[in-house]
Amino acid sequence: MKWLFFVLALPPSVWAVVAEPLRLASLDWPPYTGYQLEQQGETTVLLRQVFAAMQQDLQTDFLPWSRAIRASEKTGGLYAGYFPEYQTQNPKFILSDSLGVSELGFVEATAKPLGQLSVAVLAKFQLGVVQDYVNLTVVDQMIGRGQLTPQVALSDRQNVLKVALGRLDLAVIDPRVLTYLLEHDAEVKRLATDKVQFNSSLTELKTLHLALRREPAHQLLIEKFNQHLQKVKSAPFGNHCYQ
C-alpha cells in the first residue's frame, strides 16, 4: 500500500492567526480592564483590535497589579508584558504609544469636603493609595521626600470604602473608576453611595500604554503595534474615547 502525504500550504496571514497567542497580564480596573467586564474592558478591546489588525491573537490574564508586573519582568516567562501602564521610566519595559488617558484626582467624603486642594495642604490629611500604582506626580514626589506617609491598599474599592467609613480623608483615584464602583460594585454601592465624591480641584491626566519586556523582538513588536494602533484609532467608526 502506498501512502500519500500532503503538505497543507497556508498563506502567511493564516499562519499568523493560528500561531500561539501573545500573552499579556492585566488587572481588574474597570471600566478600562477586567475579567468580568463586557469584552474584558474598553482598553482590552482596543488592544484586541490592534493585534487583530496585525494578525496576532491575544490572550489576557487578569492578576493582582503587583503580580502582573512581576510576572512580566521574567525573561522567558509566560507574559510578554502587561497593560495598561502610565508613562513611566522603567528600564525593564518598552512602552507603546498612548492607548488613551486616565484622569487622577481624589475621592473624599461628602460630609467632610476638603475644598481646594494644593501641595501645601495635602500633608495635613490621611491619604490612601493603591500598592504599586502610579499616583499624581506631586503625590509620588511628596511620598519620595517623606512629606506624605499614605495608607496602602490593594485596590481602589478598598480605598473608596475607607473614605466612606471615615478611615481616610481622601484617596487617589480615577473618577471613571470611582463612578463604575459606585454604580456596579454591590458593597461600594451600599456603603458609599452619597457618602463619597470626587474632588476635582487637583487633578492630572496620565496617558495609558502597553508595556512589553525590553527585548529586541518586543521592540520590533511595539513598532508594528504603534503603526496599527494609529490606524485603528483613526478609523471612521473607531472608538474615539481613546486619545
In three-state secondary structure terms, 229 is: helix
Q: Are residues 96 and 215 in the same domain?
A: yes
- Residue 163's domain spans which residues? 102-204
Q: Are residues 67 and 92 in the same domain?
A: yes
Q: Are residues 213 and 192 in the same domain?
A: no
Q: Are residues 106 and 177 in the same domain?
A: yes
**pLDDT for position 120:** 87
**pLDDT for position 141:** 96
Between CA 17 and CA 7 the distance in angstroms is 18
**pLDDT for position 235:** 78
Q: Are residues 118 and 188 in the same domain?
A: yes
Q: Tell me which DSSP letter residue 40 carries.
A: G
**pLDDT for position 237:** 53
Give the mean pLDDT per block of 10 residues along the chain (243 residues): 40 49 96 95 96 96 96 92 94 97 98 93 96 96 96 97 98 98 98 97 97 96 97 70 48
Cβ atoms < 10 Å from Cβ of 166: 12
Q: Are residues 106 and 198 in the same domain?
A: yes
* Residues found in the chain: 243
Name which of 88, 85, 84 is nearest 46 in CA terms: 84
Position 240 in a domain:
no
CA atoms within 13 Å, Cβ hemisphere of 231:
11
Between CA 62 and CA 180 the distance in angstroms is 18
Q: Are residues 73 and 106 in the same domain?
A: no
Give the domain CATH number at 186. 3.40.190.10
Q: Are strands 196-213 and 93-95 parallel, antiparallel or unpaired?
A: antiparallel
Which residues are 94's β-sheet partners? 212
Chain-centroid distance of CA 47 in Å reads 12
With 0.85 as the threshold, say if the pTM is over it: yes
**pLDDT for position 139:** 97
Position 14 in a domain:
no
Q: Are residues 31 and 115 in the same domain?
A: no
Between CA 108 and CA 125 the distance in angstroms is 11
Number of domains in the chain: 2
Q: Are residues 69 and 135 in the same domain?
A: no
Q: Are residues 199 and 210 in the same domain?
A: no
Q: Are residues 86 and 126 in the same domain?
A: no
**pLDDT for position 19:** 59
